[in-house]
Amino acid sequence: MHDDHAPRGAADGCDSCAVAAESRRRFLRDAAVMVAGTLAALTAAPVSAAALDTRFVRAVASTDETKSYAIPATDAVNIDRDESVIVARYQGKVYVFSLACPHQNTALQWDSDVQEFRCPKHHSTYTPDGIFIDGRATRSMDRFAVKHTGANVVADLDQLYREDEDPDLWKAAFITL
């Protein structure tokens, strides 16, 4: 007796059912290959650089013009709010930036979620080494002249370089570790 709830032809092995079953098998096999490929791509993806820590610091020594900061032990963004200065260690180099956004001098912030500097006023963004990415600003973050002295980076706060006005000095304003 025929079961009215069974798919038509299920009991007697119709050709169309065999085709449907084969299509389903092929689909499942192709899907499995796609998932395996995606997992392999994710596993093979390069490991991104470690996230930069951020903290507030003060100069360890100073003169009328200079401020000395301890070189961070690892990649980091340190902010001296008293002097409106950012000390950033990034990929073997140390930079000392003005905290002021180059657009209209708003204090920049470090966005640890995306590992960028961000201006809260008009949302200009910059890489950890101060390169302009996007927004209303028209240049990268301003850099102070720096030198390496022992375990410190010494910034000359009288020598602030702008990328558009002093491109060569701006490019050279970092120390290499």
154 binds ligand FES (CB under 6 A): no
Name the residue nearer to ligand FES (CB basis): 137 or 153.
Answer: 137
Asked if 175 contacts 94 with a C-beta cutoff of 8 angstroms, the reply is yes
Q: How far is the CB of 108 from ligand FES (least distance, A)?
A: 7
Asked if 112 contacts 104 with a C-beta cutoff of 8 angstroms, the reply is no
140 binds ligand FES (CB under 6 A): no
124 binds ligand FES (CB under 6 A): yes
Q: Interface residues for ligand FES in 90-119 (CB under 6 A)?
A: 101, 103-104, 106, 119
DSSP 60-122: SEE-SSEEEEEPPSSSEEEEETTTTEEEEEETTEEEEEESB-TTT-PBPEEETTTTEEE-TTT
- Half-sphere exposure for 1 (CA within 13 Å, toward CB): 3
| Residue 61: alpha-carbon gap to chain centroid | 31
84 binds ligand FES (CB under 6 A): no
Q: How far is the CB of 105 from ligand FES (least distance, A)?
A: 7
Residues that bind ligand FES (CB under 6 A): 101, 103-104, 106, 119, 121-122, 124, 135-137
